[in-house]
Structure 1
Amino acid sequence: MIIQSLLDTDLYKFTMMQVVLHHFPGANVEYRFRCRTPGVNLAKHVDEIRGEIKHLVGLQFKEAELQYMRGLRFIKSDFVDFLGIFRLNQKYLSIEPTVDGGIELSIKGPWLHTILFEIPLLAIINEVYFRNLVADADLAEGRQRLRAKIDLVASDADFDNLRIADYGTRRRFSRAWQEEVLLGLRDGLGDRFAGTSNVWYAMRHGLVPHGTMAHEYLQACQALGPRLRDSQTFALETWAREYRGDLGIALSDVYGLDAFLRDFDMFFCKLFDGARHDSGDPFAWGERMIEHWTRNRCDPRTKLMVFSDSLDFGLVMALYQRFRGRTRLAFGIGTNLMNDVGPEPLQIVIKMVRCNGAPVAKISDSPAKNMCDDAAYLAYLRQVFQIAG
């Protein structure tokens, strides 16, 4: 079966889940699946996907996995105790084929009990699709591409201080391929390889796990905060109360950069270690972040800019050359590492669309990434955060 451990997911699922346990244990949410790649028939794989889900919901955390989580400095003991009795429940999940060859997949239930579904479900759908598309896949092309990427960076002393991490679990060609790529990066890049967002592989291979918050956290705060206009500051303040200065990377694109910078005032500039870019022009974003930190009496050279939007090695190297010496830099690569073996990768997502019965949305600097099923709410959100239509 594809998923062998509940740790086979991104670290930020656990860091957000801990916040949910401590601050929003009664929140109820709804997630929806979307395939952005046209002409893909996933409906014919529904039974196979259901079989993988049946195995997934039977998993529990093993004692060694709980001890590993307990050893992470920002994970609290009561949260690990909760993980010790946690199981995913299939009653919160619905998956059906559609007449156009797609699948209708929704997750609905308590946030605390549904938050861990997203990443393994996407990994399952990806692997089921590709193992049926390319039977007995010859990964020689993928290995050649990986070696070329490693050589591109490793052979140039100008990139000695470059740090690249794997952010590709949800997009991976397969579980086995992700592990092969991780070991190849570790051996080929040395110190230039910073680690992985995947907690299971971090534990198994002594890698550094990476992750803080995702879009769903700030989206949920639209419904959980005192009022919509203050939802972004409410989310950041709640995060800071939970982690007391640790995990200090703020996600900047739930309402677009203009709205983020209006809320990310001098207090947050000094409190948070940096910010993550995940949509829009990364060069323009970087220049504006440096300008914003400077204007708010922070030395940009002490701050960290994390880039994670559709990166490949060429773009990473260009961004590194633009901003090195001006700020601290980190790069998380997903699809270009974990699903670059020949066939076109799938563009699939699972996004939160409701919290406590109210619609929630993301309005990023890349319009194709927006996902909301309530046009009236989306228009209201744009008005409240002064976002052009």
Structure 2
Amino acid sequence: MGNTAVVVGAGIGGLAAALGLRRIGWEVTVVERARILDDAGAGISLAANGVRALDALGVGTEVRAAARGQYTGGTRTPGGSWLARMDGTALERALGTPIVGIPRATLHRILRAALPPETLTIGAELTGLDHSSLSPDRVRVHLRTRAAEGSPATESHLDADLVVAADGVNSRVRALLFPEHPGPAHSGSTVLRAVTDRPLDLPTDFEITWGRGAEFGHIAFEDGRAEWHAVLNSPPGIRHADPLAVIRGRFRGWHRPIPDLLDATRPEAVLHHDIHELVTPLPSFASGRVALLGDAAHAMTPNLGQGACQALEDAVVLAACLARHDRTADTADTDSTDSTDSTGVLAALASYDAERRPRAQAVTVAARRAGRMGQQLSHPAAVALRNAALRLAPSGAAVRMILRHADWTPPSLPQPSARDGRSVE
């Protein structure tokens, strides 16, 4: 086919997009500004929609083998009483898979391993996009590359039929395409998280505990270690010399296994990030021959565990739209084909925007509301009212809430050939 794409960003969404594009026969280059891929991050939960997307991209089996199903757990109070229990078995019956937990580093490695090594270019920072100097059906990506800190920069460019912006919440591409958009806003919360240094004997696969303006949760991994996260109401920019000590103090007296998780953590392993989101929705997930994907398009709070899942959905739908419209362009009468869109890219991106933007932006709003009624709630009376409502809710309410977002079926993608991973009809 000869179609070429540049994916900006080698996170979960960018790597998934590259897999989807290669699966439909595109030549892909992924550019990543980091010079060292240290796979920093803690853990991640993937609901059925995320796992199904990985199946469509051809890596679901590997991810399932490395992940741990979240069958037991739920939501608790700081004293340890249960507000709601999660039934992973019921979710598996309904959707074919429970929620699964996996280290982010492991997921990154699985996605990268499914791509040819030459696909990825690291240490390359995007400095601009240019349509004007090329024909209307190409876009130029300007890059600045440094081999090491302090080394001279090398300027270069790549020309492509498509650019996929998967460069995160502070997306440079989004700022170039939508200069009037206000960009990400601080959510009012900050998160500290880590992976334990050793396995623990945990009683549940997954838990969240809500206090006043604070949340502590854990995800158990297949190897016995666990990710924990602590989310606090906080203004942006506050950092601590000893964040683990701060967490110990803030959650002192909370139920087990919270103190056990902290005891199993090295202080230097704690990551600290303020949580930002796109409160002002984008008017489109596409501009010209550029598609926005994942946090670049719809950064959301983590309260529903849907951020990565929505990025994976983006990747599959983008590939499916391109495959569908490419076939349409191939069979269209020459006189009726737009000369600036001979491969159907513009039509495909219009379909991608129409399919993805309403759903992803609705999930973004739902996540924000979940945070306000969950972790961010701080008034004692409001917390007591919420807790009472959760205790009185029917036993299947938690499953139904998860199904609302996780029950998604991906479009089918062409099967790759055994020779080189390109699609076959």
Q: Which has the higher helix share?
A: 1
Q: If the length of structure 2 is used for normalisation, what is the TM-score?
A: 0.25
Q: If the length of structure 1 is used for normalisation, what is the TM-score?
A: 0.27
Larger gyration radius, structure 1 or structure 2: 2
Q: Which has the higher strand share?
A: 2
